Amino acid sequence: MGFSLQALLLAVTATQALASCAHGTFLSPRAEDGTVKVNKFGYTGLNGPLNWASLESPANIGCATGTHQSPIDMIDGQFTLMKSSDIQLSIPDIPEGAEFENLGTTVEVIAKGGTLKVDNKDFELQQFHFHLPSEHLDNGTSQAMEMHMVFQSTQQEVAVIGVYINIAPPSTTNNNNNANANNSTLTPTPFLESIFSTITSITTPGTKTTTPALPLSSTLQTLLTAQSNTFQSYSGSLTTPPCTEGVRWFVSAARMAIAPETFLKVRDVIGFNSRFPQNKLGEPNILMISSLGASKAAVEAMAMGNAQGVVAVAPAPVMVPMGEGGGNGAGRTTVTTTTTMETSAPVVAGTGTGGGMMKVTPARRRAY
């Protein structure tokens, strides 16, 4: 399938799929009846990210073929560094509390009213949700959690601010000002503690509750817009199906923190919801490379008569004299075998026979 066809199919069908990173945006409109839609995809086994493309085809094809997929390892050369003054961010408090939902794949706060302006483009905050552990890697290192604040423009473009969340040291007291980005990981971030104080009410996918008042402007906005703060910016994708590309990412250098006991509560609800790190931007999708590699290996295995992937382990090669073992001209044939003669037929490697393979029966081997 050519790339242009894939892109076309993706564009046509992307709006039909659910996605945590896109939930509440044009890619995944919220249910109008107020119910919480539980996502179909998951993070392990056949529902996991290795298989997202086939869960909903062709809508999710970008998950397996896209070349600007997220998350990535944030190493030099993969992002542009932006100062906090390069973006205009406004996140008002939510004194009445916000809706907090369990989507099955993440927990998400419906937070309206925030705005992001970058490069003269306006985005509106739709929601924020959490990944555990972090999806982006900070120069190769996974973080305890990552928050994604999802914004959407009137042209239906998506921008996401990613913020790492660390576990606060248990001995610290909560008397620091979180406005200081450098100290933000030492004490639990107040609005996170407020949100997660209600997480035990939504342990079941499809349930929702209301958070206490969320002091977003005094903590989150202050943290992100601090003069010393920077953002690692790049153009990537949603980290959930349909893995749509063209998403503007801003991964913040400022970090938040949660108390150790809060982390344990959140972990028990979220479990694990992190897509594996994708290939470098612009390079082929790892799943394409993997698929081609697997096909090549399968063909080679079939050529070797070992198509079912039967590989004999050989703690002790058995030497078979010429004439008995197939006559490979070297006088001896190396036979790989298992230690239990009765349970496995040994396989000969490198015998020089026509098919390259020859079986030696246990009875023959027993003669030596």
User: Closest CB to Zn ion among 74 and 358?
Assistant: 74
Least distance in angstroms from the C-beta of 239 to Zn ion: 5
Helix then strand count (H, E) for the chain reads: 9, 18
| Nearer residue to Zn ion within complex by CB, 71 or 188 | 71
Select from 233, 236, 234, 232 the least CA-distant residue to 66: 236
Q: Which tokens is 281 given?
A: 């931007």
Residue 110 exposure: Cα atoms within 13 Å on the Cβ side: 18
Tokens of 313: 């382990």
For residue 357 the two structure tokens come to: 């393979």
Cβ at position 63, least distance to Zn ion in Å = 14
- Residue whose CB is nearest to Zn ion in the complex, by number: 148
Q: Please, what is the minimum distance in Å from the beta carbon of residue 175 to Zn ion? A: 32
State which residue, 162 or 188, has the beta carbon closest to Zn ion. 162
Based on CB atoms, which residue is closest to Zn ion, 68 or 148? 148
Could you check whether the bond before residue 71 is cis, i.e. omega within 30 degrees of 0? Answer: yes
Minimum distance, C-beta of residue 162 to Zn ion, in the bound complex (Å): 8
> Nearer to Zn ion by C-beta: 163 or 348?
163
Site string for Zn ion, 146-185 (x = CB under 5 A): --x-------------------------------------
From 17-25, 57-65, 202-210, 279-287, span contacting Zn ion (CB under 5 A)? 17-25
CA dihedral 49, 54, 56, 61 (to 10 degrees): 80
Specify the residue, 251 or 360, whose C-beta has the smaller distance to Zn ion.
251
Interface with Zn ion includes 21 (CB under 5 A)?
Answer: yes
Q: How far is the CB of 129 from Zn ion (least distance, A)?
A: 6
Q: If binding is defined by CB under 5 A, does position 110 make contact with Zn ion?
A: no
Residue 44 or 228: the one with the smaller Cβ distance to Zn ion is: 44
Q: Which residues contact 335 (CB under 8 A, 6 or more apart)?
A: 317, 318, 319, 320, 325, 346, 347, 348, 349, 360, 365
The three state secondary structure string of 136-186 is: CEECCECCCEEEEEEEEECCCCEEEEEEEEEECCCCCCCCCCCCCHHHCCC
Nearer to Zn ion, 21 or 348 (CB): 21
Distance between first and last Cα of the chain? 56
| Least Å from the CB of residue 146 to Zn ion | 8
Name the one range near Zn ion by CB under 5 A: 13-21, 114-122, 207-215, 298-306: 13-21
Burial class (CB in 10 A: 0-12, 13-18, 19+), 256: buried
- 18 interacts with Zn ion by CB under 5 A: no
Candidates 19-27, 177-185, 285-293, 346-354: pick the segment binding Zn ion (CB under 5 A).
19-27
Provide, rounded to whole angstroms, the least separation between the CB of residue 176 and Zn ion. Answer: 28
**227 touches 85 (CB < 8 A):** yes
Query: Do residues 111 and 216 touch, judged by C-beta distance below 8 A?
Result: yes
- Number of residues this chain uses to bind Zn ion (CB under 5 A): 2
Nearer to Zn ion, 148 or 248 (CB): 148
Asked whether position 23 contacts Zn ion by CB under 5 A, the answer is no
CA dihedral of residues 349, 353, 357, 358 (deg, nearest 10): -100
Q: How far is the CB of 254 from Zn ion (least distance, A)?
A: 18
Nearest in space to 160 (alpha carbons), one of 83, 85, 248: 248
| Minimum CB–partner distance for residue 21 and Zn ion (Å) | 4
Stretch that binds Zn ion, among 143-151, 278-286, 309-317, 321-329 (CB under 5 A): 143-151
| Among 64-72, 144-152, 194-202, 248-256, the segment contacting Zn ion (CB under 5 A) | 144-152
Candidates 22-30, 39-47, 142-150, 206-214; binding stretch for Zn ion (CB under 5 A): 142-150
Angstrom distance (rounded) from CA 228 to CA 65: 38
Residues of this chain that bind Zn ion (CB under 5 A): 21, 148
